[in-house]
Amino acid sequence: MASTQGTSDWITERTSMSLETGAADRHPWEGGRRYHTYREGRYSLPNDEIEQQREELMHILVMDILEQQLFLAPMAEPPKKVMDLATGIGLWAIEMGDRFPDADILGLDLSPIQPTSVPPNVTFQVDDVEDTWAWRVQVHDNDYDFIHMREASAYMRSTPTVIESVIAHLKPGGWLELQEFHWLAEKEDGTIDPSIPVNRYMDHMMSAAETSEGRKIPILPEMGDIMKQAGFVDVRKKTYRVPYGTWPTDPVARRRGAVLSVNAELLLPTSDKVLGYIGVTPEQAEALYTDCIKMFHDSSIHCFATYYVWYGRKPEEPAENPGADR
Ligand SMILES: C[S@@+](CC[C@H](N)C(=O)[O-])C[C@H]1O[C@@H](n2cnc3c(N)ncnc32)[C@H](O)[C@@H]1O
């Protein structure tokens, strides 16, 4: 099994990225940030070093929240063929390859930002996971045991369509797992105060996604229904509350809150472009980010983000009854 030390080793290895200097030069830059070239404009966040560091931090936070489990799907056997959709810098795929040396792990992403030095059973490919999967040589068969997607459904034009592709390419009995943060800040009693800076930011982001691309975010709270409609059974949801800021007295919650806030601080400035779609000026966006950051440092504001995990199984037989989520 890989240890946290193992993860750090791979992170260090990331100095040798598949995106080489020449290729990096060809990537579009805007506002001092670098973006992906393949299917340019498809994904709104940058793919530069700052964003890659944010992804590393997010991976470490998520592994902390899930107590070093890479997935929660209750697979009876270790998976042999695994796909990681929108793999990013590929840390999840690399750790899976490390923990399951007999499995083949394929990571797909719009950006070639994964390390070149990886376990021999891990492969990365530049691809748009919203394309029709049928034409892909590598993934045309429906014999995957496990397909995983983390922190990406909010960026898909149509997550239900991606999930239909997933079920078509899983073998009967294979599992899908989706994980993602829902950034809307909940108070300790579960209510949502729309005047809290993070919620004002989220409100703008939701309108911008809807206005510019007809996308609905967040989509994770509804994922169970989408998975069941696609034909998954044994669909289950798990949620974890993660504090914004370091107000909790419990050291574990405090640590997670600190990392989440640093992560959010790195994420906020990447939103200028998206907020611009609904007429928010860079100055207004900057003021909103400043309010959010103040909120993370204000220990009198007790709020949580929610981390969602959904998993479900492709039925063995088409007639198998869909399971209920809980
Ligand atoms: C926030 S990052 C998450 C990366 C990784 N899954 C993780 O959890 O660390 C989102 C990733 O989704 C990728 N992405 C977004 N839309 C995509 C698409 N249509 N096809 C492939 N990758 C996509 C982006 O390039 C980016 O690397």
Write 204-209 long-range contacts (CB < 8 A, 24+): 204/275, 204/278, 204/280, 204/288, 205/271, 205/274, 205/275, 207/278, 208/274, 208/275, 208/277, 208/278, 208/280, 209/154, 209/274
Does residue 94's CB lie within 6 angstroms of at least one atom of ligand 1?
A: no
Question: What pLDDT is recorded for position 216?
Answer: 79
Average pLDDT over residues 260-277: 92
Residue 326 has pLDDT above 60, yes or no: no
Considering only 28-32, 99-103, 145-149, 193-197, which range has the smallest mean pLDDT? 28-32
Question: What pLDDT is recorded for position 4?
Answer: 32
Whole-number Cα distances in Å, 212 to 204, 205, 209, 216, 275? 12, 10, 5, 11, 10
Question: What pLDDT is recorded for position 108?
Answer: 95
Question: What pLDDT is recorded for position 3?
Answer: 33
Nearest CA to ligand 1 atom 12: 86
Average pLDDT over residues 181-200: 95
pLDDT tens, residue by residue, 24-55: 557 899 888 999 999 998 898 999 999 999 99
Does residue 150's CB lie within 6 angstroms of at least one atom of ligand 1?
A: yes
Contact 27, 125 (CB under 8 A): no
pTM (2 decimals)? 0.90
Contact 24, 17 (CB under 8 A): no
| Cα of 301 from ligand 1 centre, angstroms | 31
Name the band, by pLDDT with cuts 50, 70 and 90, for residue 139: low
Name the band, by pLDDT with cuts 50, 70 and 90, for residue 103: very high
Task: State what percent of residues in the chain have pLDDT above 70.
Answer: 87
- What is the CATH code for 4-182+217-241+305-313? 3.40.50.150
Atom of ligand 1 nearest to the CA of 157: 19
Task: State what percent of residues in the chain have pLDDT above 90.
Answer: 74
Does residue 232's CB lie within 6 angstroms of at least one atom of ligand 1?
A: no
Name the band, by pLDDT with cuts 50, 70 and 90, for residue 274: confident
Atom of ligand 1 nearest to the CA of 55: 9
CA–CA dist 95, 10 (Å, integer): 9
Question: What pLDDT is recorded for position 319?
Answer: 59
Question: What pLDDT is recorded for position 9?
Answer: 36
Atom of ligand 1 nearest to the CA of 59: 9
Residue 106 has pLDDT above 50, yes or no: yes
pLDDT tens, residue by residue, 51-70: 999 999 999 999 999 999 99
Average pLDDT over residues 216-227: 88
Omega before residue 160 within 30° of 0, cis:
no
Does residue 42's CB lie within 6 angstroms of at least one atom of ligand 1?
A: yes
Question: What pLDDT is recorded for position 310?
Answer: 98
How big is the CA angle at 179 (ends 178 and 183), to the nearest 5 degrees? 135
Contact 169, 147 (CB under 8 A): yes
Q: What is the mean pLDDT of the chain?
A: 88
| Cα of 86 from ligand 1 centre, angstroms | 4
**Candidates 87, 166, 179: which one to mutate for ligand 1, based on the most atoms within 8 Å of Cβ?**
87
Nearest CA to ligand 1 atom 19: 128
Question: What pLDDT is recorded for position 219?
Answer: 83
Does residue 155's CB lie within 6 angstroms of at least one atom of ligand 1?
A: yes
| Cα of 84 from ligand 1 centre, angstroms | 10
- Token duo for residue 252: 């574990």
More confident call, 221 vs 284: 284
| Cα of 53 from ligand 1 centre, angstroms | 14
Average pLDDT over residues 131-150: 76
**Candidates 109, 139, 271: which one to mutate for ligand 1, based on the most atoms within 8 Å of Cβ?**
109
Question: What pLDDT is recorded for position 138?
Answer: 55
Name the band, by pLDDT with cuts 50, 70 and 90, for residue 7: very low
Question: What pLDDT is recorded for position 136?
Answer: 56
Average pLDDT over residues 136-158: 84
Nearest CA to ligand 1 atom 8: 150
Considering only 9-13, 123-127, 154-158, which range has the smallest mean pLDDT? 9-13
Give one word for 141, left, alpha or beta, with left for phi > 0 and alpha for psi -120 to 50: beta
Does residue 11's CB lie within 6 angstroms of at least one atom of ligand 1?
A: no
Nearest CA to ligand 1 atom 1: 151
